[in-house]
A and B are shown apart, each in its own frame.
Chain A
Amino acid sequence: DQQVKQNSPSLSVQEGRISILNCDYTNSMFDYFLWYKKYPAEGPTFLISISSIKDKNEDGRFTVFLNKSAKHLSLHIVPSQPGDSAVYFCAASYGNAGNMLTFGGGTRLMVKP
Chain B
Amino acid sequence: EAGVVQSPRYKIIEKKQPVAFWCNPISGHNTLYWYLQNLGQGPELLIRYENEEAVDDSQLPKDRFSAERLKGVDSTLKIQPAELGDSAVYLCASQGQHTGELFFGEGSRLTVL
Contacts and interface: CB of A to CB of B under 8 A. Distances in A.
A102 B91 CA distance: 14
Interface string B73-113: 00000000000000000010101011111111111000000
A97 B100 contact: yes
Q: Is the interface of A mostly helix, strand, loop or mixed?
A: loop
Given A43-B4, A103-B44, A106-B41, A98 B102 contact: no
A81 interface: no
A89 B42 CA distance: 7
Interface residues of B, number: 27
A34 B104 CA distance: 14
Interface residues of A, number: 27
Contacts, number: 61
B14 interface: no
A8 to B, nearest CB: 13
Contact of B101 (A9, A49, A96, A106): A49
B42 A104 contact: yes
A8 B40 CA distance: 12
Contacts of A34: 100-101
A20 interface: no
Contact of B40 (A9, A99, A102): A9
Q: Across chains A and B, which 10 residue pairs bring their CB atoms closest together, nearest first?
A: A43-B104, A103-B42, A97-B100, A46-B101, A105-B42, A103-B43, A43-B106, A44-B104, A32-B100, A43-B105
Interface of A: 4, 6, 9, 32, 34, 36, 41-46, 49, 89, 91, 93, 96-106
